[in-house]
Amino acid sequence: MDTREWLVVNALPGVGPHRIAELVARQPQWPEGWLAALPSKAASALRLWYEHPSKSPLQRAVEASLAWQSNAPGRTILHRDHPAWSPLLNQIADPPAVLWAQGDLSALERPTLAMVGTRRPTAEGAHNAKTFARELARRGWCIVSGMALGVDGVAQQAALDAGGSSVAVLGCGIDVIYPARHRALYQQLSDSPGGLVLAEHPPGTVAHPAFFPRRNRIVTGLSLGTLVVEAAEKSGSLVSARLAMEQGRDVFALPSSLHNQQARGCLQLLRQGAAMACEPEDIVNELQHWASEFLPPPMADLSAASSMPADEPLPDALLGLLGASPTPIDALVQQSGSSVSECQQRLLMLEIDGWVASRAGGWVRLPRP
């Protein structure tokens, strides 16, 4: 099916994402199979458009979206048959039929992590969001969020400032900036390399409270895992965490003080089985089970070297043998040609200087500030 046909399916009356996904699973022929499988009202609307498009109200919606796409560079209407469509979305129960996209589509080619949290983070929470997003972006990960105030915006801005990628999923039309305070972030996501804005709703659709849970399922559905930075006990971020779990994705939470009311939701998630993340390496290592399908080979063991200036000399050649995944000491001995005692001594000096750390299974290289 082409873009025009997917726009028609998306606009059919009384047919939502879940029903469309069920129909797609049957692999019906277009349009005969769809006409036979759709409810009567939607089938009548599709038949009118197919036979007499000029008389169909669906045609106006199609033309409006195609006009939006052609009016400026960097605009794309994504759907299941588009080459840039993320296959991760096809794994959830209710993927959007269409996504309006503005920005750099290559952001969807990177391994993705959703970062969510309170709109009123503490100073510690904002710092943690910035640090995790920056370090993961430097390792080639794309940060996905909802461009909301607080943790969302802090994380996405940090990823872009680090020269990395970030995708914002809006709870409104692609041309509606919400919240208005994030106009500069919206422009940066739309115009910068690695930045991308997505919306499930047609251009011109204003934000509505009912749209945000729907947006959250796309944020988590696009992502290999979801990191909750700070969240109160009753928080929309916990809804995102629940959605991620239902979608079969990993959920991470940052530990915090028992007295931090803005982080009580994170403690609740940890009690429910979310993985604790104390540093970015915890997330990278935990998500290695996606490596064969969604992480390019260099990404699976990408070291912190990608965040270092090319002209900064390494203090020890052992660093070239270390990455984000633990390397056993015997492997380092074999690859470096050093004795066990010499290797241990060199690692100790590197650990003191903050270059490496010992982890279960071996040694890892740490990110540089």
Write the pLDDT tens digit of every residue in 333-354.
877 888 888 888 888 888 888 8
Q: Are residues 110 and 219 in the same domain?
A: yes
**HEC secondary structure over 160-176:** HHCCCEEEEEEEEECCC
**Residue 311: predicted pLDDT:** 47
Q: Are residues 192 and 119 in the same domain?
A: yes
CATH number of the domain enclosing 307? 1.10.10.10
Range of the domain at 208: 105-294
Q: Are residues 210 and 168 in the same domain?
A: yes
Q: Are residues 37 and 15 in the same domain?
A: yes
- Asked if 362 contacts 334 with a C-beta cutoff of 8 angstroms, the reply is no
**Residue 369: predicted pLDDT:** 55
Last residue of a domain, which of 245, 274, 294? 294
Q: Report, as ranges of residue numbers, the positions in the chain whose pLDDT lies below 70.
A: 291-292, 295-313, 325, 368-369
What's the pLDDT tens digit per position in 256-301?
777 777 788 898 999 889 999 999 989 988 998 886 677 654 444 4
Q: Are residues 145 and 286 in the same domain?
A: yes
**Residue 350: predicted pLDDT:** 86
**Residue 312: predicted pLDDT:** 55
CATH number of the domain enclosing 258? 3.40.50.450
Q: Are residues 98 and 113 in the same domain?
A: no
Q: Are residues 109 and 99 in the same domain?
A: no
**What global pTM score does this model have?**
0.79
- Asked if 144 contacts 115 with a C-beta cutoff of 8 angstroms, the reply is yes
Helices (H), the chain: 3-11, 17-25, 32-37, 40-51, 57-70, 123-138, 151-161, 183-191, 211-221, 236-246, 264-271, 280-286, 291-294, 297-300, 329-336, 340-352
- Asked if 332 contacts 346 with a C-beta cutoff of 8 angstroms, the reply is no
* Cα(167)–Cα(190) distance, integer angstroms: 9
